Amino acid sequence: MISTGLQKLDKFLAGGIPNSVITDIYGASGTGKTQFLFQICINAIKNGGNVLYQDTTGSFRPERILEIQKQQNLTFDILEKITVSRITNTFEQIKSIEKMKVSNFSLIVIDNITDLFSFEYQKNNTIFQKNSLFIKYIHNLSSVSINKKIPIVITNMIRNIEGKELENMRTAIDPFTHIKIKLAKSSSKFHGEIKWLQYQTIFSYKIISAGLSDYAEDI
């Protein structure tokens, strides 16, 4: 069990991110998805774990990890416990499953899970191929989480379709993601929605130098 760093979410999840499931964090750009991943990674390492961080967009920022580490007064080397893998195409992303099967990581994170698939398969005549490859990939990813009894946390983007904000490749992702956390921003306040099994709740959060934090009135 890994704390999210947000008390309301941890209470909802009976302690935090559980083993053997995929947790899906999605939302628009600028809502704190990657920073939320950093926070979860740090909390996993504080528990004695080691992390595989797959970066498909080039958004991993070690300096932000170090800033959070400083704000939390952590004296050990956080970055030493994070193995960063820069993924540049879908072939590498799909092949990485084989390495996961023989690894000993206590947490795997993927930021962002659909970006490369959407970039490489943009034409209408490739949609079926894209979906087929992705469904097989995320099915295998789910098997890794179950068989190795570890949490896998992913981020994903949203698209505006006919005036509605929908998660990218949602119909392919939903059957394999057990916890879904949507991050959003309205006016000057960040807010989110979490779904797990048949339950759901809403929450608010702020982004500070130490990471994502609760609003006191929401706890």
**Neighbour tally for 54: CB within 10 Å:** 22
What pLDDT score was predicted for residue 159?
86
Please tell me the predicted confidence (pLDDT) of residue 99: 92
The answer to whether residues 205 and 32 touch, using CB atoms and an 8 Å cutoff, is: yes
CATH classification (class only), 7-218: alpha beta
For residue range 76-102, list pLDDT tens digits in order. Answer: 889 999 999 999 999 999 999 999 999
How many other C-beta atoms are found inside a 10 Å radius of the C-beta of residue 185? 16
Per residue in 25-44, pLDDT tens? 999 999 999 999 999 999 99
Residue 125 has pLDDT above 90, yes or no: no
Cα–Cα distances in Å, from 122 out to 23, 41, 127, 130, 154? 26, 32, 7, 9, 22
User: How much is the CA Rg of the chain, to the nearest whole Å?
Assistant: 17
Average pLDDT over residues 202-207: 93
- Tell me the pLDDT tens digit for each residue of 12-25: 999 999 999 999 99
Q: What's the pLDDT score for residue 63?
A: 94
Please give the pLDDT value at position 219: 63
Domain ranges of the chain: 7-218
